[in-house]
Structure 1
Amino acid sequence: MKIVLIAPEKLPLPGNGSVEICILGIARELARRHQVTIISRSVPELPALEQIDQIIIRRIPASSVSGYTRSAIRLLRTLHVDIIQVDNRPFSMAAIKAAFPQTPVLLYLHSLTFAQAGPGKMALLKKADCIALNSHSLKRRLSRRFPAVKKLMDVVPLGTDLDRFRPVTSLEERFTVREKFGITDCFAVLYAGRVIPGKGVDVLIRAVALAQKQVPIQLIIAGKGPPRYVRSLRRLTKKLHVNTNFLGQMNHDQIDQLYRSVDCLVCPSQIHEAFGLVNVEAMASGIPVIASDNGGIREIIRSGKNGYLISGYTKPRQFASSLHELATHPELVQSMGENGRETATAQFSWAKTALHLEATYTRLIRP
């Protein structure tokens, strides 16, 4: 098949965001058997045409959503395409489908953000030949919001690179990566993602403050956010005397080392998480995950087996209790980490995601 994946207009590929990571991870697997082209935005430091592994990346100007979409349509007219996938942009998908009515067009939605309720959005979604969703939770939400297009929806869970994201292999490697990120002998807790209020980083800081009354803990925060909010979190860590490393935005090609340097990941989201890619990356890296019991996270974490799901996630106490349990029971960290790796290997690889999409593409091309 000749497959074209169209990234959102704001996202250059390669990139550090979850959508960019997903597109590239899926493309690498599809390119093992098919001809794959990715269309993404142009940026000064990247060429207009590039080959990464077996993938062709075509970068085009993106002054606006509509301008980017028109440029993508012009480029598509020069390509022979069997199927087109548009990620996270119903407007672009509908315009592209109108321009290529005979070509199957799939919309892959990663969250609720670009599918707000309303007749206008419904009209756009109806244009898709298929709507791929990364979790059953997201499908349930969108089915209630847009019942007329439920029949178009297909759940395609995301994955991760199981070779890059792997458990630490020796004490020497563990010492090296911990030293690289400034991690001491304390029980090390990681938050990785956008540092914004809806992600609950403040709840995590308060949880660590409670747990550290009984056991030494070091908190690692990797990600960027609004400077004013990040400053407020820094003030909170000082006020509560929480030993915290703010690493800022990290390139995704280093994040696997960071997972191997810590003892657990905490995902304290206060908003609906359609999937939660960091949870799968952490599990593949052999560390337990403590996460809010909401959205698609429930489809990843098996509470008590590969981590803990926190029902009272708006407050710090349950997070603190789980942190204390792990920090005082290293054998539990080990067994949960091993279980997480097994879960990731069995269920969450880019190869499985690509195979599912491949089957969907085939069905759309040959109805």
Structure 2
Amino acid sequence: MEREKVAVITPGSFVIPSGRSSSVERVIEKMVPLAADQLHIRIFGLADGHLPSQSWIGSVPCYRLPGGRLYLASILRHLRKWRPDTVDVHNRPLLAHQLKSRLPLTRVLLTLHSTTFVSSSKNHQKACMPQMLESVDGLIVNSEFLKGELLNRFPSLSTPIWVNPLGVSLEDFVPRWTPAGESLRQARLAEFGWENRKIILFVGRLLPSKGVHHLLAALPAILREEQDALLVIVGSSFYGIDRETEYVKRLKTMAEPFKEKVVFLPFTPYPKVADWYNLADCLVVPSGDEEAFGLVNVEAMASAVPVVAAKSGGIPEIVVDGYSGFLLPMEGLTQSMADRVISLLQNEEARKAMGRAGRELARSQFRWQHTADRWAELMQKNYVLSRGADQ
């Protein structure tokens, strides 16, 4: 039987593949090639003037098209010639709506990775959002939280919504608590002059919604109990750009009294960021309520590092409280964060047990192959006919 044809449309924000892209491009790069034995797939992304107009992501061809206003027209030319059975548009409701209106007989799905593009501050986009979401044949989201958010914001929405949690490549992360992991860790700690330090790690964009200010506010209490603690903050406000915003300046002002205890490191491209997880005694994720999934959680788990996270958004669907880490209520977050970090830094056996538990959860539930298999099933054109009533 001939494989069904699926076109995957990236947001047109970043080139793929690229370690300096957003998590959306990473999801596509990691997940899609794993489904190539089940589907005939083409990826359409953005040209940057350096990479060729066509190359391969694994065994899947990737076409890089002119961006901006030319992106829609370029995609349409390819789709009309190739005639896919399904088009999966990532994180761009307007683009999905435009493609469906011009290709009414083609099955068009919209994959949403966050609430960003359904929370537009532009009034005309807010007014049109229900129409955009209703126009497509199905919605794919990465967490039950995000599905609930869509249904809360658009109560009359009748478009089918399916949840497909994201994954991690275990082979990209060297886990703690193995001879190889500990040897690598000790060598790198010595390289940085951080021997005998206990590493608290944050990885992510430096935005108010990511809550780094909560972590810095908890630091004095942590240092009173653990003088050897070192907070390592890896990230920037923008992907691949280290320009300082007012928020970043605020964070550095908060860190000023603790010069030897806080290190700010620039955005680190994937998979090199795995080196920082290997150093960590715990990862802290103080994100606010709009965190739909958070790849950093599964990346830390793949590294056998316990996670201390806010009980918000889709994070409770990943981190098991008291097993692979700790989930903290937003109320009183600063104090509870300090308490949980201190408890982990003072108890190596707890760090080891939670780290190993997280690694096993990542292996059994959050691998990219799991995500790819679910996605391949969703791409089958008969899936909507047989499951369309499921919400």
SS at match of 1:132: strand
Question: Is residue 193–residue 278 contact of structure 1 (8 Å, CA) maintained in 2?
Answer: yes
Please say if 1:61 is aligned against 2:66: yes
Cα distance, 1:175 vs. partner? 1.7
In structure 2, give the amino acid aligned to 1:143: L
Alignment length (residue pairs): 365
Pick aligned residue for 2:161 from 146, 149, 153? 153
Write the mapping of 1:48-197 to structure 2, written as runs, cut at 5 A: 48-64=53-69, 67-116=70-119, 118-168=126-176, 169-170=178-179, 171-179=182-190, 183-197=194-208
Unaligned runs of 5+ in 1: none
In structure 1, give the amino acid aligned to 2:91: N
Unaligned runs of 5+ in 2: 121-125, 238-242, 386-391
In structure 1, give the amino acid aligned to 2:57: I
Q: Match of 2:268?
A: 250
The 3 A distance-change label for structure 1 pair 300 and 47 is same
Question: Is residue 139–residue 159 contact of structure 2 (8 Å, CA) maintained in 1?
Answer: no
Cα distance, 1:96 vs. partner? 1.0
| Distance (Å, rounded) in 2 between the aligned partners of 1:200 and 1:132 | 27
Using the aligned pairs only, state the percent identity: 33
The 3 A distance-change label for structure 1 pair 151 and 75 is closer
Question: Is residue 313–residue 319 contact of structure 1 (8 Å, CA) maintained in 2?
Answer: no
What is the root-mean-square deviation in Å for CA atoms of aligned residues? 1.9
Cα distance, 1:11 vs. partner? 2.1
Write the mapping of 1:191-340 to structure 2, written as runs, cut at 5 A: 191-215=202-226, 216-225=228-237, 227-228=244-245, 229-241=247-259, 243-312=261-330, 315-340=333-358
SS at match of 2:72: helix
Cα distance, 1:93 vs. partner? 0.5
Please say if 1:38 is aligned against 2:46: no
Cα distance, 1:240 vs. partner? 4.1
| Distance (Å, rounded) in 1 between the aligned partners of 2:28 and 2:271 | 15
In structure 1, give the amino acid aligned to 2:166: L
| Distance (Å, rounded) in 1 between the aligned partners of 2:305 and 2:360 | 11
SS at match of 2:74: helix
In structure 2, give the amino acid aligned to 1:128: V
Question: Is residue 129–residue 364 contact of structure 1 (8 Å, CA) maintained in 2?
Answer: no
| Distance (Å, rounded) in 1 between the aligned partners of 2:261 and 2:344 | 18
Question: Is residue 206–residue 240 contact of structure 1 (8 Å, CA) maintained in 2?
Answer: no
| Distance (Å, rounded) in 1 between the aligned partners of 2:158 and 2:340 | 38
In structure 1, give the amino acid aligned to 2:313: G
Question: Is residue 195–residue 201 contact of structure 1 (8 Å, CA) maintained in 2?
Answer: yes
Cα distance, 1:80 vs. partner? 3.8
Task: Give the TM-score taking structure 2 as reference length.
Answer: 0.88
Question: Is residue 9–residue 90 contact of structure 2 (8 Å, CA) maintained in 1?
Answer: yes
Task: Give the TM-score taking structure 1 as reference length.
Answer: 0.94
In structure 1, give the amino acid aligned to 2:252: R
Cα distance, 1:200 vs. partner? 1.0
Cα distance, 1:173 vs. partner? 1.6
In structure 2, give the amino acid aligned to 1:60: L
| Distance (Å, rounded) in 2 between the aligned partners of 1:346 and 1:89 | 31
SS at match of 1:126: helix
In structure 1, give the amino acid aligned to 2:224: K
Cα distance, 1:87 vs. partner? 0.5
Question: Is residue 137–residue 159 contact of structure 2 (8 Å, CA) maintained in 1?
Answer: no
Write the mapping of 1:19-30 to structure 2, written as runs, cut at 5 A: 19-30=24-35
> Any idea what the Cα deviations from partners look like across 1:260-294, whole Å, max 9, x if unmatched?
12111111113421111110111111110011111
